[in-house]
Amino acid sequence: MLAYLIRRLGQAALVMAVMATIVFFGLYTVGNPIDLLINPEDDLAAQEAAMRRLGLDQPIWVQFGHFVGGIFEGDLGTSFVHNRPALELILSRLPATLELVFFAMLLAVLIGVPLGMIAGLRPDAPSSKAIMAASILGFSIPNFWQGLMLIMLFAVYWGILPAGGRGDTVDVLGIPVSFLTWDGLKHLFLPALNLAIFKMSLVIRLARAGTAEVALQDYVKYARARGLSPSRVIGVHVLKNILIPVVTVLGLETGNAIAFAVVTETVFAWPGIGKLLIDSINLLDRPVVVAYLMLTVFMFVMINFLVDIGYSLLDPRVRIQARGR
Amino acid sequence: MSAAADTPLRRLAGDFVKSPSAVVAAIGLVLIVLAAVFAGAVAPQNPYDLAQIDIFDGSLPPGSTGFDGFHYLLGTDEQGRDMLSAIIYGLRISLSVSFISVSVAVLIGLVMGMLAAWRGGWVDSLIMRIVDIQLSFPALLVALLLLAALGKGVDKVILALIIVLWAYFARTVRGAALVEIRKDYITAARSQALPGWRILFGHLLPNVMPPVIVIATVQIANAISIEAALSFLGVGVPITEPSLGLLIANGFDYLLSGRYWISFYPGIALLLTLVCINVVGDQIRDILNPRMQR
Amino acid sequence: MTAPILSVNGLTTVFETRIGTLTAVNDVSFTVGPGEVLGLVGESGSGKTITGFSILGLIDRPGAIRAGEIWLKGTDLRKLAPDALRRLRGDRIAMIFQDPMMTLNPVLRIDTQLIETILAHRDVSRGRAREMAEAALAQVGIPSPAERLRAYPHELSGGMRQRVVIAAALMLEPDLIVADEPTTALDVTIQSQILFEMQKLMAARQTALIWITHDLTVVAGLAHRVAVMYAGRIVETGPVDDVLDRPAHPYTHGLIHSIPSATARGQRLAPIRGMTPSLIHLPEGCAFAPRCGRADAACGTAPAATDIAPGRWLRCHHPLEAGA
């Protein structure tokens, strides 16, 4: 088990190194941030001073050396635009994104699992067919357009929810969160729903397939033969068995959700790392883009670990195998 | 060989028409593709010919009649462009970008996947390690960062999509090829001392195609939506060649003032296209899935 | 004779399939008294398992009970509302399933599954329910029951699992237990241990037991009476020694003579010719006629149940002489 963990960590480190190299050199070849950052009417001396301050006057491999050295000191460079350490900048925006992704996942599970189970228990009922048709639509609908339509309905026509921004936040352990204020919750709902709909369609499919399979198992019939209430049979005996694939896939999808948060945050002006990435790309703020990438790679590695742990918590059979390994 | 070759195809078509929704989706898809290919003949207006656009007809709601009596079925954008025509031309760009990139990705995936399966050893390890790493990141994110490095442009979007998509095909092809290579007909071909490339392309290739076709239909839809998202984010196609995604992005600013049609109808076109492809793809998958055949 | 615990009258259970109506259980009647063990014997597909599920009201679409009465201690189970019937399941009637590997939910611990059964039927505290579950495990001979309670099903051996399931069945002291081939998946030594324990517990509590099996040797050792099923019908029933020693129905006779035994060593086994018929297109008349050496034109009509001795009847136009 330990050897397996170490090997996985080694692989992850290699992935991070390769990605860092590719992105660093890739981004260097595009445009010159000086053109954007420095007033063209400044004289040459002022421009050169700025270049020196940002380290842009040195050969690319020296810059790369600084960059690699910096990584080990937790320094991913300084944002050209914000004039703050890139990592600090991203970490300050990270809670907003994580809150958004978390609530999207929550919505996807809370709505998707019951709908999928209904469709799985009575596959021929009209309601089940409607659920499955809706899930195909949910798969196909372009995320950003669906977000625009949510804004159009809820913000423009009905005027019941705000079109963008994060609303009021409260600090919990020094981290600002939206979901504890009514205003924040109102701002959170549409972006979370926007991000959730694709995952919801996925969860519906998984839950339906799982339910249809589990409902035929002997242990479900046995649970009924013991006179358990239908809610206990479905809510415990079926649900706990279908949650295993749902949690696994959803965990693996968390990374995708963070990526798609880029789109959602742009549509809803949600001040997370996704919006920061788009702004930084447009402003050629290289250190922020690279720092974003490094952080994302790191998060993906963590997600994969967490999925493994979550999986073993739900499935005792896996837990035993892992212990034996 | 040639006599037997058309039988599976005919069977495929026979199975396909059993699902009414798949048939409707297939017809819809054919109409969409035809409209995109013959955009010049189908669209009421050439939205990029300035002589045909009247700025006085700007931001008209759907069903309006313009200054010179032109009927705008889906309204106009702020520059007086007919939205229906803009959608048909946008569809052409969306479809051609995704079709070209998926085609090239399929080719690369076939070569890499068969090579990995055929050679094994370090070649296999190297190719599959790259594939694994790449597939562990969301396609949209990789494409986004690639375009951040490459810059805007139709050619660059296509390149980014190829880089993102080839790995899916390589993995599928390798998996299918590994199964096929163990079968007797490959052993027979090998025992005739045929050259490797002839076994790969003459014997192996036709047999790994079914899963590739399934993945390709899904990935065309995937490519269309990634391209749309990239263009929406402002790193995709340039304003001179707007895809559906860029049309939607352009309408974003007018949405809050109630001029919904500039974003709404391109989105409907995009959605219809994706639903048709997904329904058709689902049906093809169900037919070709060996588990369902048993 | 005391009043029976269970009395089934004309039970008919059908399944609607795409190619026609499948009659899995056809006009089945029997009774089981307190402390009595009824062996329900037949080949796979004879309808014995569906009979068990019908008694518990566990027939799902596309299946349905078409006709008959199921009296449990003066209550017709078919007239009960679904929820009232559910309250009887696991409490007054318990069922033990065929495969102990598949019966217990793999993701729930033993204690969860036993305690939930108690709490579904008894208004007791969780702590009291745990004590009851522990006592039930001890009763069926499970060593260190408190520890076993915290185990997951896959951590127990097959025999141990089936003991857990038997404990779950006995836990609430039901009037009737329906056991569907509970020992078929087990080793012979464990099977005999479990049979012994079951016999002891049933006798002590005067529980009625229906033992569904295809294994005549188990029936011979365990049951008081036997009912032989063929193609959805009971073709012969009576006291176990009478039926097994002197079968009157050609099918029962064939069944007994197709198994090897110590007394018949060296004799040629006599397997029954042909295959079990499809339950969708049953032949008119006696379903066994196509495989029966004694069949003639009379077998084209369905034989009625005929008494041949007290508590013993069969459906056959040409019964064997008793003792043949």
* Shared-domain flag, residues C140 and C190: no
> Residue with structure tokens 């922020």?
A288
Token pair of B111, please?
């070569």
Q: Which amino acid is at B273?
A: T
* Shared-domain flag, residues C222 and C82: yes
Low-confidence ranges of chain C (pLDDT < 70): 1, 261-269, 322-324
* Shared-domain flag, residues C87 and C181: yes
Q: How confident is the model at residue A110 (pLDDT cuts 50, 70, 90)?
A: very high
* CB-based contact, A315 to chain C, within 8 Å: yes
For each of the domains in chain A, give its residue range(s) and CATH number, in order of start: 94-277 (1.10.3720.10)
Residue whose C-alpha is closest to residue A107's, from A257, A236, A263: A257
Contact B275 A137 (CB under 8 A): yes
Q: Write the residue in B145, B235, B271 that is nearest to A140 by C-beta.
A: B271
Chains B and C lie in contact, requiring 3 or more CB pairs less than 8 Å apart? no
Q: How far apart are CA C115 and CA C277, in angstroms?
A: 43
Q: Are B245 and B228 in contact (CB under 8 A)?
A: yes
A296 chain-B contacts, CB cut-off 8 A: 137, 141
Q: Write the residue in A222, A224, A315 that is nearest to C107 by C-beta.
A: A315
Q: Which amino acid is at B112?
A: M
* Shared-domain flag, residues C255 and C185: yes
* Shared-domain flag, residues C166 and C296: no
* Shared-domain flag, residues C81 and C129: no
Instruction: Indicate the residue among C152, C173, C194 that finishes a domain.
Output: C173
The verdict on residue B27 lying in a domain is yes
A321 contacts: CB under 8 Å, gap ≥ 6? none
The verdict on residue B119 lying in a domain is yes
Minimal-distance CA residue of chain A relative to B151: A30
* Shared-domain flag, residues C315 and C234: yes
* CB-based contact, A121 to chain C, within 8 Å: no
Contact A144 B270 (CB under 8 A): no
Residue whose C-alpha is closest to residue C7's, from C67, C72, C58: C72
pLDDT at residue A322, as a whole number: 44
pLDDT at residue A311, as a whole number: 62
Q: Are B122 and B112 in contact (CB under 8 A)?
A: no
pLDDT at residue C124, as a whole number: 92
pLDDT at residue A23, as a whole number: 67
* Shared-domain flag, residues C169 and C207: no
C309 contacts: CB under 8 Å, gap ≥ 6? C238, C242, C322
Tell me which residues of chain B, numbers 199 to 228, contact chain A at a CB-CB cutoff of 8 Å. 221, 225, 228
Q: How far apart are CA B189 and CA B205, in angstroms?
A: 13
Return the minimum-mean-pLDDT range out of A36-45, B154-163, C116-125, C294-303: A36-45
The verdict on residue B245 lying in a domain is yes
> Taking the CA of residue C170 as centre, how many other CA atoms within 13 Å lie in the half-sphere pointing to its CB?
26
The verdict on residue B61 lying in a domain is no
Q: Write the residue in C89, C108, C120 that is nearest to A240 by C-beta.
A: C108
pLDDT at residue A312, as a whole number: 60
Is there a cis peptide before residue C62, judged by omega within 30 degrees of 0? yes
Q: How far apart are CA A272 and CA A261, in angstroms?
A: 8
Q: What is the number of other CB atoms lying within 10 angstroms of the CB of residue B56?
A: 10
Token pair of C214, please?
């295809």
Bridge-based pairing of strands C208-213 and C37-41 is parallel
Return the minimum-mean-pLDDT range out of A7-11, B19-23, B264-268: A7-11
Q: Are C142 and C164 in contact (CB under 8 A)?
A: yes
* CB-based contact, C275 to chain A, within 8 Å: no
How many domains does chain C contain in total?
2
Which of C107, C114, C161 is the best substitution to test chain A (most A C-beta atoms within 10 A)? C107
pLDDT at residue A42, as a whole number: 63
**CA C111 and chain centroid, separation:** 27
Q: What is the number of other CB atoms lying within 10 angstroms of the CB of residue B38?
A: 12
How many domains does chain B contain in total?
1
Instruction: Indicate the residue among C173, C192, C223 that finishes a domain.
Output: C173
More confident residue, A263 or A19: A263
Tell me the three state secondary structure of residue C69. Answer: strand
The verdict on residue C267 lying in a domain is yes
pLDDT tens-digit series, residues C160-209: 888 899 889 888 889 999 998 887 777 778 788 888 888 887 888 888 99
Residue ranges making up the domain that contains B79: 8-48+68-292
* Shared-domain flag, residues C88 and C234: yes
Instruction: Indicate the residue among C173, C208, C237 that finishes a domain.
Output: C173
Kindly list the strands in the beta sheet with C225-230, ordered across the sheet, starting from the edge strand earlier in the chain: C93-96, C176-180, C208-213, C37-41, C225-230, C233-239, C312-315, C305-309
* CB-based contact, C173 to chain A, within 8 Å: no
Q: How far apart are CA B269 and CA C96, in angstroms?
A: 58
Q: Are C251 and C235 in contact (CB under 8 A)?
A: yes
Chains B and A lie in contact, requiring 3 or more CB pairs less than 8 Å apart? yes
A311 chain-C contacts, CB cut-off 8 A: none
* Shared-domain flag, residues C35 and C72: yes
ipTM exceeds 0.95: no
The verdict on residue C319 lying in a domain is yes
* Shared-domain flag, residues C141 and C124: yes
More confident residue, B138 or A33: B138
Q: How far apart are CA A33 and CA A8, in angstroms?
A: 37
The verdict on residue C16 lying in a domain is yes
Q: How confident is the model at residue A325 (pLDDT cuts 50, 70, 90)?
A: very low
Q: Which amino acid is at C36?
A: E
The answer on pLDDT for A320 being more than 70 is no
The verdict on residue C1 lying in a domain is no
Which of A121, A216, A219, A224 is the best substitution to test chain C (most C C-beta atoms within 10 A)? A219
Query: How many Å is the Cα radius of gyration of chain A?
Result: 24
> Residue with structure tokens 């720092």?
A291
The verdict on residue B243 lying in a domain is yes
Residue whose C-alpha is closest to residue A53's, from A72, A67, A34, A40: A34
Residue whose C-alpha is closest to residue A144's, from A197, A200, A203, A104: A197
* CB-based contact, C168 to chain A, within 8 Å: yes
pLDDT at residue A192, as a whole number: 93
pLDDT at residue A238, as a whole number: 92
Return the minimum-mean-pLDDT range out of A281-290, B27-36, B46-55: B46-55
User: In which region does residue C130 sit, left (phi positive, over 0), alpha (psi from -120 to 50) or beta (all else)?
Assistant: alpha
Q: Write the residue in B145, B221, B229 that is nearest to A144 by C-beta.
A: B229
A106 contacts: CB under 8 Å, gap ≥ 6? A192
Contact C58 A223 (CB under 8 A): no
pLDDT at residue C121, as a whole number: 92
Please give the helix or strand (H or E) that residue B71 lies within, else none: strand B71-72
pLDDT at residue C127, as a whole number: 92
* C238 strand-pairing partners: C226
Q: Are C286 and C299 in contact (CB under 8 A)?
A: yes
* Shared-domain flag, residues C81 and C143: no
Most confidently predicted of A313-322, B238-247, C266-275: B238-247
Residue ranges making up the domain that contains C239: 6-92+175-323
The answer on pLDDT for B75 being more than 80 is no
More confident residue, C165 or A36: C165
The verdict on residue C111 lying in a domain is yes
A238 chain-C contacts, CB cut-off 8 A: none
Q: Are A81 and A50 in contact (CB under 8 A)?
A: no
Q: How far apart are CA B75 and CA B236, in angstroms?
A: 25
* CB-based contact, B24 to chain A, within 8 Å: no
**CA C173 and chain centroid, separation:** 18
Contact A320 C155 (CB under 8 A): yes
Q: How confident is the model at residue B82 (pLDDT cuts 50, 70, 90)?
A: confident
Tell me how far CA of residue C318 lies from CA of B124, C271, C294, C298, C321, in angstroms. 73, 20, 7, 9, 9
Bridge-based pairing of strands C6-17 and C20-32 is antiparallel
Domain of B89: which CATH number? 1.10.3720.10
Residue whose C-alpha is closest to residue B177's, from B127, B227, B247: B127
Q: For residue C88, which phi and psi values (nearest 5 degrees)? A: -75, -35
pLDDT at residue A114, as a whole number: 93
The verdict on residue B285 lying in a domain is yes
Tell me which residues of chain C, numbers 203 to 262, contact chain A at a CB-CB cutoff of 8 Å. none
The DSSP 8-state label assigned to residue C3 in this structure reads P
Q: How far apart are CA A76 and CA A289, in angstroms?
A: 10
**CA B45 and chain centroid, separation:** 26
* CB-based contact, B292 to chain A, within 8 Å: no
Q: How far apart are CA C215 and CA A118, in angstroms?
A: 40
Which of B152, B159, B232, B270 is the best substitution to test chain A (most A C-beta atoms within 10 A)? B232
Domain of C70: which CATH number? 3.40.50.300
Contact B267 A148 (CB under 8 A): yes
pLDDT tens-digit series, residues A153-189: 888 888 788 887 787 777 777 777 777 778 888 888 9
C154 contacts: CB under 8 Å, gap ≥ 6? A316, A317, A320, C106
Bridge-based pairing of strands B64-65 and B71-72 is antiparallel
Q: How far is A142 from chain B (nearest CA, A)?
A: 6
Q: How far apart are CA C177 and CA C165, in angstroms?
A: 12
Residue whose C-alpha is closest to residue B144's, from C18, C78, C260, A282: A282
The answer on pLDDT for A318 being more than 60 is no
pLDDT at residue C133, as a whole number: 92
* CB-based contact, C88 to chain A, within 8 Å: yes
B160 contacts: CB under 8 Å, gap ≥ 6? B142, B143, B146, B147, B150, B230
Tell me how far CA of residue A54 lies from CA of A38, A79, A291, in angstroms. 12, 9, 16
The verdict on residue B55 lying in a domain is no
Tell me which residues of chain B, numbers 231 to 260, contact chain A at a CB-CB cutoff of 8 Å. 232-235, 245, 248-249, 251-252, 255-256, 258, 260
* Burial B259-280, CB ≥16 within 10 A → b, else e: bbbbbbbbbbbbbbbbbbbbbb
Q: What is the number of other CB atoms lying within 10 angstroms of the CB of residue A150?
A: 20
> Taking the CA of residue B189 as centre, how many other CA atoms within 13 Å lie in the half-sphere pointing to its CB?
18
Q: Where does chain B have alpha helices with state H? A: 2-16, 20-37, 39-42, 83-119, 121-135, 139-150, 154-181, 184-191, 196-198, 205-233, 244-255, 261-288, 290-293
Chains A and C lie in contact, requiring 3 or more CB pairs less than 8 Å apart? yes
Q: How far apart are CA A132 and CA C111, in angstroms?
A: 37
Give, in degrees to the nearest 5, the angle at Cα C134 between C129 and C135. 95
